[in-house]
Structure formats: C-alpha cells, structure tokens
Structure 1
Amino acid sequence: MIGIDLVSIARITHMRERFGDKAFAKFLSEEELSLVQNDVTAAGFYAAKEAISKALGIGICGQCGFMDIKILKDVRNAPSFTLSRHLVEAYEISDVSLSITHENGFAVAVAVIEGQKRQRRLWH
C-alpha cells in the first residue's frame, strides 16, 4: 500500500502565524513537537501523516486520526513512523517505510505499508 502527499510550507507557516504553536498540537504529539525545528519540518510531518493515512486507504478520519500516527527520526535523522495498535491489528501491518523531502516551498512525503488492505472489487 502506497500513499503520497504534498503540502505547501507557506500553508503551515500561515497556520502557525494565525494560531501560534498550538496549531501544531492539532496534528503533532509532544514527542513529535520536540523534533520539529521549523515550519519546513512541520510541513514534512503533516505531509507524512496524510501520506500514511492514504496508504491505509482511509485518509485522516475517525478510524485514523493524526494522533494514531507517530513520526520518528533515527540517529541519522531518517524518518519512520508507528501506528496505533488498532490500525496495526486491523490491517495486519508487518512493515512500514517513509520518505520526506522539501523543495521549492513544498514538502512531499511517500509512505509504504506492508499488510492486508481490505479487499476491493476491481471489476464491475
């Protein structure tokens, strides 16, 4: 399962300027907030959470909220993520990958999730 998302960094900057740092608390946990150094990183994390929810095929919704996804960074600053137990169990997730990049005023994230997605009919 693959998901991708693109976020304007200016959109995140505008949100922070309008609502202050509490704007980030709407989509980032305390641990994630400690990793965010600037609006560029925040935009990347926002894009990542959207891409992850799209990879699950459900988007951000009641079943998968922003706080059900936790963005992490390893010792080399490479991003990864964890999911709430109910999502891991529902989709039988066995492995995940995440890539985030920033360029020309945008943040892009691609998420890959290995697991069992609900069956869709591919014919009519």
Structure 2
Amino acid sequence: MIGIDLIKTDRMKRLIERFGDRGLQKFLSENEILLIKNHRSAAGFWAAKEACSKALGCGIGSECGFHDIILSKTPKGAPVIDLSTRVKEMFSIQSLSVSITHDGDYAIAVVALQKS
C-alpha cells in the first residue's frame, strides 16, 4: 500500500508561531521534536504521518493516531518510519518506507508499506 501527502509549509510556520512546542506536541513526540530544524522539516514530518495513515487506509483517528507513527533519522539524515506495536499488529505490517521532499512552499511525503 502507498500513501502520499502534501502540506504548505506556511501552515506549519503559523502553527509554530502561535503555539510553539505545544503545537508540535499534538503530532510529534519529544524525540521527534528534537529532530525538527525549522517549520519546513516540521511540515515534512506532518506529511509523513498523514501519508502513513493513508497507506494504512484508516487516516488519523482511533485506529492510528499521530503518536502511533514514529519518525526518526538515520546517521546520514534520511527519514525512517515505524509504527507502535499495537498498530503494527492490528494492520499486520511487515515493513515500512518513507520519503520526504520539499519544493518551494510545499513539503511532500510518500509512505509505502507491506502487509504480511
């Protein structure tokens, strides 16, 4: 399954200006917030989580929340995506891949997942 999401980075800029880290905590863990460099990278993380929920076929909600989708980075800075054990088991997920890119005023993410 594949999911994709697009977000205008200015939307994330306004969220951070208005709420700061409190706004980021709505969709990111403390470890994820430490990886955020600016509003553009925050927008990329938002898009990745939305794309993952679309690949699962459920969207963000009771079956899979923002905090069930876990983002990190490799030592070279490439994004890595994982799921909470509960969601992995519920959807029988075998593997996940993510790609995040930015172009102009937009951040785009694609997530591919394989079910067992």
Provide structure 2 residue ranges, at least 5 long, that are not aligned to the other structure: none
Question: 2:39 corresponds to which letter in structure 1?
Answer: D
Which residue is 1:119 aligned to? none
Partners of 2:58 and 2:66 lie apart in 1 by: 12
Question: 1:103 corresponds to which letter in structure 2?
Answer: D
Question: 1:21 corresponds to which letter in structure 2?
Answer: D
Aligned partner of residue 97 in structure 2, secondary structure: strand
Which residue is 1:36 aligned to? 36
Which residue is 1:63 aligned to? 63
Aligned partner of residue 101 in structure 2, secondary structure: strand
Q: Percent identity?
A: 48
Query: Which has the larger share of strand?
Result: 2
Q: What is the number of residues matched between the two proteins?
A: 116
Partners of 2:31 and 2:19 lie apart in 1 by: 20
Normalised to the residue count of structure 1, the TM-score between the two structures is 0.91
Partners of 1:62 and 1:90 lie apart in 2 by: 12
Q: Deviations over 1:81-118 (max 9, x none)?
A: 110111111121111110000011100000000005xx
Provide structure 1 residue ranges, at least 5 long, that are not aligned to the other structure: 117-124
Which residue is 1:112 aligned to? 112
Structure 1 residue runs of 4+, over 4 Å off? none
Normalised to the residue count of structure 2, the TM-score between the two structures is 0.97
Which residue is 1:18 aligned to? 18
Which residue is 2:7 aligned to? 7
Question: 2:109 corresponds to which letter in structure 1?
Answer: A
Shift of 1:18: 1.5
Which structure has the larger Rg over C-alpha atoms?
Answer: 1
Q: Deviations over 1:66-86 (max 9, x none)?
A: 000010100111111110111
Aligned partner of residue 26 in structure 1, secondary structure: coil
Shift of 1:63: 1.1
Shift of 1:21: 2.1
Q: Deviations over 1:41-62 (max 9, x none)?
A: 0000000000000000000001
Partners of 2:23 and 2:92 lie apart in 1 by: 32
Which residue is 2:91 aligned to? 91
Aligned partner of residue 27 in structure 1, secondary structure: coil
